[in-house]
Structure formats: structure tokens, C-alpha cells
């Protein structure tokens, strides 16, 4: 599969143009819009969400990642073989956490260029065609490279990285690193763990391990984002449970 991870949102032509560019190259490869509302302009937040979602990729899959506020600049264009799948997108930290958690990483600079390359839409003109070709097994137009790294970024990020349709708040913290007794301090509120929504009363806030393995803050039957008045990049403090 080709799986698109972007901050494009759902309005306008951008998702459709990205899909068209990939399917023109590989019409028989399944294409999925995995996420279209990654934190806008924030690869530093999106990297943690991408790494969590990438755990479900299968051998040969290609994740087409476009959170690219530096489009049109000298930042490199990357294709990264991470264990047994591919990441294609800008060299701006978006793939940092996925690479850090992988057993094997081989990075390549994309040297191929299309006949026409927009200064503002490398996702359509450059990354999507390359992702499609990699899904077909073609590696032409790649040169080995050492990608830029972000060693100062934490392994787990205690901030909100995404707000979903329900107003649930996804953090960049893997739930497996916390004790079940850990308390979250967020927007002046203390939030305790519950295993399911049904384990708390209507309107109660709680945190739980979501389906991607991340710590997520929710309100049973409501919007945690509205209740707390926060969104992406809001800090989350963890007390007193210690990371494992």
C-alpha cells in the first residue's frame, strides 16, 4: 500500500492531487489517506504520531509523509527504508522518531526530478511519484545519504500532538512507558487513567492507551479539547508514576 500522512486537511484539491500523482505511476497499488490533519506546519509534533501509526505498516508499504513548511527551500527530499517499509518526504525531522525506533535504517536522497516541479507542492510533483515507484519495487533516482537528525528531541513527547474528530487529545508519549498509576497534569486539571470509556462517568476526563499505543486524554461523551481549552503543542506533566 501507499499510505498518505499529511497536514493538508480535507478541503481543497490537495489530497486528490496527491492521490492522482501516485496512481498515475502505480494504478494497481492500493492508496490510503491514512491521516490528513497532522499538526499543521509542525513536523516536530507530527513525527511522534507518524511513528506510532507506522507500527501497523506491512513489508513493502510506503508511507508518503508530507508535513513540509520548508517546501521550496534547500531541505533535502528523502526516501528512507526503515526495517521493511519505506518513508518518503522532506528531510525536516518528520521521520526522526520512526528512524530512531527502527532496527535498520537506510536513507536516500531523491535525485530524480520531474519535468515540472512546483515550488510549493513537492508532495504532488516529487514525493508521490517516488512513493509510487518504490511501491512497485523501483529504486532509480536515489542516492545514499545521511539524513539530518534531531538528537535533542525526546524519545517520548509530553505534549499534545493531535486532536481527533471527537476532541480526544493524543500525546507523543507511549503508554507502555508509564505506570498505570501515573497522573497527568494538563491545563490545570489532574487526569487519571481508565482502561475504557465505560469505566468512568459521563463527562469525566481520563487518560488511556489508545489503539496506536499512545497516551490519549478523553472525556466520556464529550470533547476533552473543549473541556480543557487546549490543542496541539499543549504541555502535559506526568506525576507521580515513573516511566518504566
Tens digit of pLDDT at every position of the chain (244 positions)? 999 999 999 999 999 999 999 999 999 999 999 999 999 999 999 999 999 999 999 999 999 999 999 999 999 999 999 999 999 999 999 999 999 999 999 999 999 999 999 999 999 999 999 999 999 999 999 999 999 999 999 999 999 999 999 999 999 999 999 999 999 999 999 999 999 999 999 999 999 999 999 999 999 999 999 999 999 999 999 986 655 5
Q: Is residue 149 part of a domain?
A: no
Task: Give the predicted TM-score (pTM) of the model.
Answer: 0.95
- CATH code, domain carrying 10: 3.40.50.10790
Range of the domain at 86: 2-144
Residues 6 or more apart whose Cβ sits within 8 Å of residue 59: 84, 85
In terms of domains, do 169 and 123 share one? no
In terms of domains, do 137 and 215 share one? no
Contacts from 68-71 at CB under 8 Å and sequence distance 24+? 68/43, 68/92, 68/94, 68/122, 68/123, 69/41, 69/43, 71/119, 71/120, 71/121, 71/122, 71/123
Q: Is residue 115 part of a domain?
A: yes
- Euclidean distance between CA atoms 59 and 64, whole angstroms: 15
Give me the number of domains the chain comprises. 2
Domain end call among 103, 120, 144: 144
Q: Is residue 152 part of a domain?
A: no
Is residue 13 helix, strand or coil?
coil
**Residues in the chain, how many?**
244
- Euclidean distance between CA atoms 239 and 237, whole angstroms: 7
In terms of domains, do 114 and 186 share one? no
Amino acid at each position: 500500500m501507499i499510505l498518505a500522512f499529511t497536514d493538508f486537511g480535507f478541503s481543497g484539491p490537495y489530497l486528490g492531487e496527491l492521490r492522482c500523482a501516485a496512481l498515475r505511476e502505480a494504478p494497481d497499488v492500493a492508496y490510503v489517506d491514512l491521516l490528513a490533519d497532522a499538526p499543521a506546519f509542525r513536523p516536530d509534533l507530527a513525527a511522534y504520531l507518524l511513528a506510532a501509526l507506522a507500527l501497523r505498516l506491512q513489508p513493502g508499504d510506503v508511507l508518503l509523509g508530507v508535513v513540509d513548511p520548508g517546501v521550496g527551500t534547500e531541505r533535502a527530499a528523502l526516501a528512507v527504508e526503515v526495517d521493511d517499509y519505506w518513508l518518503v518526504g522532506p528531510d525536516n525531522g518528520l521521520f526522526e522518531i520512526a528512524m530512531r525506533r527502527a532496527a535498520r535504517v537506510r536513507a536516500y536522497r531523491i535525485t530524480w526530478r520531474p519535468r515540472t516541479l512546483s515550488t510549493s507542492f513537492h508532495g504532488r510533483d516529487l514525493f508521490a511519484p517516488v512513493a509510487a515507484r518504490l511501491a512497485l519495487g523501483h529504486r532509480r533516482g536515489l542516492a545514499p545519504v545521511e539524513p539530518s537528525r534531531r538528537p535533542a528531541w525526546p524519545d517520548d513527547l509530553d505534549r499534545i500532538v493531535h486532536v481527533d474528530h471527537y476532541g480526544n487529545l493524543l500525546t507523543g508519549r507511549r503508554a507502555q512507558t508509564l505506570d498505570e498509576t501515573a497522573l497527568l497534569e494538563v491545563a490545570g486539571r489532574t487526569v487519571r487513567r481508565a482502561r475504557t470509556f465505560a469505566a468512568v462517568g459521563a463527562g469525566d476526563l481520563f487518560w488511556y492507551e489508545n489503539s496506536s499505543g499512545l497516551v490519549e486524554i478523553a472525556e466520556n461523551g464529550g470533547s476533552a479539547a473543549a473541556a480543557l481549552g487546549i490543542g496541539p503543542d499543549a504541555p502535559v506533566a506526568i506525576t507521580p508514576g515513573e516511566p518504566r
